Amino acid sequence: MSKELPDDEYWMQQALLLAQKAEAQGEVPVGAVVVRQGRIIGEGWNQVISLNDPSAHAEVLALRAAAKNENNYRLPGSELFVTIEPCTMCFGTLVHARIQRVVYGAKEPRAGMLDSNVQISELDIYNHKLQWQGGILEQACSDVISQFFRKKREP
Protein backbone atom coordinates (compact mmCIF):
# COMPACT_ATOMS: atom_id res chain seq x y z
CA MET A 1 0.00 0.00 0.00
CA SER A 2 1.50 3.34 -1.02
CA LYS A 3 1.71 6.09 1.52
CA GLU A 4 0.32 9.46 0.42
CA LEU A 5 3.04 12.10 0.27
CA PRO A 6 2.55 15.32 2.23
CA ASP A 7 1.24 18.19 0.17
CA ASP A 8 2.79 21.53 -0.72
CA GLU A 9 1.32 23.26 2.33
CA TYR A 10 2.99 20.75 4.64
CA TRP A 11 6.41 21.37 3.10
CA MET A 12 5.87 25.14 3.17
CA GLN A 13 5.08 24.86 6.89
CA GLN A 14 8.48 23.21 7.30
CA ALA A 15 10.10 26.11 5.44
CA LEU A 16 8.24 28.58 7.69
CA LEU A 17 9.70 26.86 10.76
CA LEU A 18 13.17 27.43 9.31
CA ALA A 19 12.31 31.07 8.63
CA GLN A 20 11.73 31.39 12.38
CA LYS A 21 15.30 30.14 12.96
CA ALA A 22 16.57 32.88 10.68
CA GLU A 23 14.57 35.52 12.52
CA ALA A 24 15.84 34.27 15.90
CA GLN A 25 19.37 34.89 14.58
CA GLY A 26 18.50 38.41 13.42
CA GLU A 27 18.42 37.35 9.77
CA VAL A 28 15.70 38.12 7.23
CA PRO A 29 13.23 35.29 7.93
CA VAL A 30 13.38 33.07 4.87
CA GLY A 31 13.41 29.28 5.08
CA ALA A 32 13.74 26.54 2.47
CA VAL A 33 13.58 22.76 2.22
CA VAL A 34 14.59 20.42 -0.59
CA VAL A 35 12.26 17.44 -0.85
CA ARG A 36 12.63 14.22 -2.81
CA GLN A 37 10.31 11.22 -2.65
CA GLY A 38 8.42 12.56 0.34
CA ARG A 39 11.37 13.38 2.58
CA ILE A 40 13.51 16.41 3.30
CA ILE A 41 17.02 15.95 1.95
CA GLY A 42 18.22 19.49 2.66
CA GLU A 43 17.15 22.52 4.62
CA GLY A 44 18.35 26.07 5.02
CA TRP A 45 17.49 29.48 6.36
CA ASN A 46 18.99 32.87 5.66
CA GLN A 47 22.41 33.19 7.31
CA VAL A 48 23.99 35.98 5.29
CA ILE A 49 24.88 38.02 8.38
CA SER A 50 25.85 35.24 10.77
CA LEU A 51 28.08 33.50 8.19
CA ASN A 52 29.38 36.75 6.64
CA ASP A 53 28.47 35.23 3.30
CA PRO A 54 26.41 37.10 0.69
CA SER A 55 25.45 33.78 -0.92
CA ALA A 56 24.05 32.26 2.30
CA HIS A 57 20.43 32.58 1.22
CA ALA A 58 18.00 29.93 2.48
CA GLU A 59 17.71 28.32 -0.95
CA VAL A 60 21.47 28.03 -1.48
CA LEU A 61 22.04 26.58 1.98
CA ALA A 62 19.23 24.06 1.49
CA LEU A 63 20.71 23.02 -1.87
CA ARG A 64 24.20 22.69 -0.36
CA ALA A 65 22.83 20.45 2.41
CA ALA A 66 20.86 18.34 -0.08
CA ALA A 67 23.85 17.94 -2.41
CA LYS A 68 26.02 16.87 0.51
CA ASN A 69 23.40 14.42 1.78
CA GLU A 70 22.92 12.95 -1.69
CA ASN A 71 26.64 13.05 -2.49
CA ASN A 72 25.76 14.72 -5.79
CA TYR A 73 25.65 18.34 -6.92
CA ARG A 74 22.75 17.46 -9.21
CA LEU A 75 19.37 16.95 -7.53
CA PRO A 76 17.01 15.74 -10.28
CA GLY A 77 13.53 14.79 -9.17
CA SER A 78 13.78 17.18 -6.21
CA GLU A 79 11.56 20.08 -5.25
CA LEU A 80 12.49 23.21 -3.33
CA PHE A 81 9.97 24.89 -1.05
CA VAL A 82 10.88 28.42 0.00
CA THR A 83 8.93 31.07 1.87
CA ILE A 84 9.72 33.86 -0.61
CA GLU A 85 10.22 34.01 -4.37
CA PRO A 86 13.86 33.29 -5.31
CA CYS A 87 16.28 35.97 -6.48
CA THR A 88 18.54 35.76 -9.54
CA MET A 89 21.42 34.11 -7.67
CA CYS A 90 19.15 31.48 -6.15
CA PHE A 91 17.45 30.82 -9.48
CA GLY A 92 20.82 30.15 -11.11
CA THR A 93 21.74 27.74 -8.34
CA LEU A 94 18.42 25.93 -8.74
CA VAL A 95 19.05 25.50 -12.46
CA HIS A 96 22.58 24.18 -11.89
CA ALA A 97 21.27 21.73 -9.29
CA ARG A 98 18.62 20.54 -11.78
CA ILE A 99 15.77 21.08 -9.33
CA GLN A 100 12.57 19.81 -10.91
CA ARG A 101 10.13 22.20 -9.23
CA VAL A 102 10.23 25.31 -7.06
CA VAL A 103 7.34 26.24 -4.80
CA TYR A 104 7.39 29.60 -3.07
CA GLY A 105 5.08 31.32 -0.63
CA ALA A 106 5.16 35.11 -1.05
CA LYS A 107 6.22 37.17 -4.05
CA GLU A 108 9.37 39.25 -3.76
CA PRO A 109 8.50 42.43 -5.68
CA ARG A 110 12.04 43.82 -5.63
CA ALA A 111 14.22 40.82 -6.40
CA GLY A 112 11.93 37.91 -7.30
CA MET A 113 12.82 36.39 -10.64
CA LEU A 114 10.17 33.74 -11.28
CA ASP A 115 7.04 35.87 -11.32
CA SER A 116 7.59 39.39 -9.99
CA ASN A 117 10.15 40.77 -12.41
CA VAL A 118 12.08 39.42 -15.37
CA GLN A 119 10.54 35.93 -15.18
CA ILE A 120 13.99 34.62 -15.82
CA SER A 121 12.80 31.03 -16.02
CA GLU A 122 11.03 31.85 -19.29
CA LEU A 123 14.22 32.94 -21.07
CA ASP A 124 15.42 30.46 -23.64
CA ILE A 125 19.06 30.51 -22.49
CA TYR A 126 19.11 27.69 -19.95
CA ASN A 127 19.71 24.01 -20.59
CA HIS A 128 17.34 23.09 -17.76
CA LYS A 129 13.74 24.18 -17.34
CA LEU A 130 12.24 24.00 -13.90
CA GLN A 131 8.59 24.12 -13.02
CA TRP A 132 7.42 26.61 -10.43
CA GLN A 133 4.39 27.59 -8.46
CA GLY A 134 3.85 30.54 -6.16
CA GLY A 135 1.34 31.50 -3.52
CA ILE A 136 1.46 28.46 -1.23
CA LEU A 137 0.64 29.77 2.27
CA GLU A 138 1.26 33.18 0.75
CA GLN A 139 -0.29 35.21 3.56
CA ALA A 140 1.64 33.41 6.30
CA CYS A 141 4.91 33.77 4.38
CA SER A 142 4.24 37.43 3.62
CA ASP A 143 3.31 38.16 7.25
CA VAL A 144 6.61 36.75 8.55
CA ILE A 145 8.63 39.09 6.32
CA SER A 146 6.37 42.12 6.88
CA GLN A 147 6.42 41.76 10.66
CA PHE A 148 10.20 41.37 10.67
CA PHE A 149 10.75 44.62 8.77
CA ARG A 150 8.05 46.42 10.76
CA LYS A 151 9.91 45.55 13.98
CA LYS A 152 13.20 46.69 12.42
CA ARG A 153 11.71 50.11 11.69
CA GLU A 154 10.36 50.62 15.21
CA PRO A 155 12.23 53.27 17.23
Q: Mind telling me the catalytic residues?
A: 59
Do β-strands 39-45 and 79-84 pair in parallel, antiparallel, or remain unpaired?
Answer: unpaired
Q: What is the C-alpha to C-alpha distance for residues 100 and 98, in angstroms, rounded to an integer?
A: 6
Where b means 16+ CB within 10 Å and e means fewer, 65-89 reads bbbeeeeeeebeebbbbbbbbbbee
Number of neighbouring beta carbons within 10 Å of residue 91:
23
SS3 label, residue 55: coil
Q: What is the DSSP letter of 113?
A: T
